[in-house]
Structure 1
């Protein structure tokens, strides 16, 4: 009796999970976390309008979602000042990245990213047989010059930049990002991941040129809009590239509830402004907690604060483990020297109070 006949590529890959979710960790621990501060979700929740729209849409879940995401694409296009043909909606940025890599990366094709940048993107590249070339961060920032130089040197199909960056929370001004776009080598497509753009200072995002074939931008409803569980992301790019998604995407991948929630959230700018204010206050609170414990918070343009623990990766991992033992879920970068840090998501005071209570003991235990 034979089993499934995997492709040579899939057979050669290890089973891997880019992120181990908090629920998986809670099952292993046998108890829940008291403070869920590791996944960069919006602990402040979605817009009440979005909740009401999703409740209403639940009555019609016997229907498939609109395969064209027509209303949401039109609303996003109007909000962004582009045509609907320049917008693609999909199952979060993760899903859209998978489709893009499937379209452009074949076995042996080279892709350039930063060592320590978003691991799910790397997971897709390897899963389709691509070859990853990584350049180090420059301090706590991704290095646009090094990314472009490596892309040019290896003839990369894709080059990836997140702005603001995860996991460090750093960012480049719009002018610097635009210079990178202008320098993209012929035949290379730049991925500009702007998942955290709503939290960034003004002047972080370069103007959108929907007809520029050198760059595709990704944004999401998972962060500022508080809809991580609904899985709604969108891409902005030149119309021929956006149209090509229809060749490979799951046309019924978006459910009606998610479409309704995103559309309603987009129409509630007051809620978005309130969330941004709460995130800013939470970042200040996390920074204060870090300083009170002799740690260094890094400047952040995202909905988290990366905290330098002042030693090496082994010490930061010990702090992470000790926080988990005390029912505080946080994460950390995985690549040195970024792994000297832990990363704490913005959250309401009751969650941050748990962090403030438990961090001193976690640090003491990590120091032995």
Structure 2
């Protein structure tokens, strides 16, 4: 099935099947809506396109998943950030988990029966991921994990976690595990952000026993797993996010009394530039190209476009952010994190300078 045929069929199905979100816009409501949407799309087959048959998929290129997420985001069927987590975690499991484990677990995520999280960042190692200190020590057939993670999205809702630990010094001493979140010794504490949502959490691991067959890859493969995961975060996930931001630009056009053509044009141009770059990334992904540091460009462009869009909202809808209980307020505040989440803008520019432009460390 090609993309045009897939998109046409999907749109017809979505027009006939009402998956629109209900009145509950809390995080609890968003997570429940996400599970509902995934389950409906999976049962109808749409969520299985673009995934390999080995994990219950229907095959076809990954770009079909991008088209699906674009429709979900542009129709406001699910919050795009939490919807797109599947595009980070499922490919990681397919690439690094034992085939039997991937075949058992990935359908649970795709079908909405489970939510998963990603345990990477720590209080002392955010963008500097290689400095993580959460330890895993081998004890018989298990590994025992002790440490703390932070900024773990949706940890309080998650059944499983893709977890990075330290098993030896250096980059080659980072090892990944697939951990059940109900294992004794795990404590989750949600964190409230400035836009009033407990999307993140800190997670504590106190002598948590993880079976050896839950290791992802081999000991020391964790750093490479992280490097393979991040480009997925910045490819299909970003395509979904851009579709969502276009829908917000349309809403701004409908609500703004003052159509400042220069400001609106600049916001549109920033989004269009990010979309063109993301389209090129999607094309490389469809061709089977291994994505690498060049996706840092996608991250910088998307973050800039998102902040410019919501700054334009502030300028063209005076008082709405400051004086009204409007959905725009939370979105504007969330946009301020765009240059932080998924790798800070400063780190991304350093990667572009050093690894793409060969400008050295000075």
In the superposition, the TM-score normalised over structure 2's length comes to: 0.24
**Could you say which structure has the greater relative contact order, defined with CA pairs below 8 angstroms and 6 or more residues apart?**
1
Report which of the two has the higher share of helix: 2
In the superposition, the TM-score normalised over structure 1's length comes to: 0.24
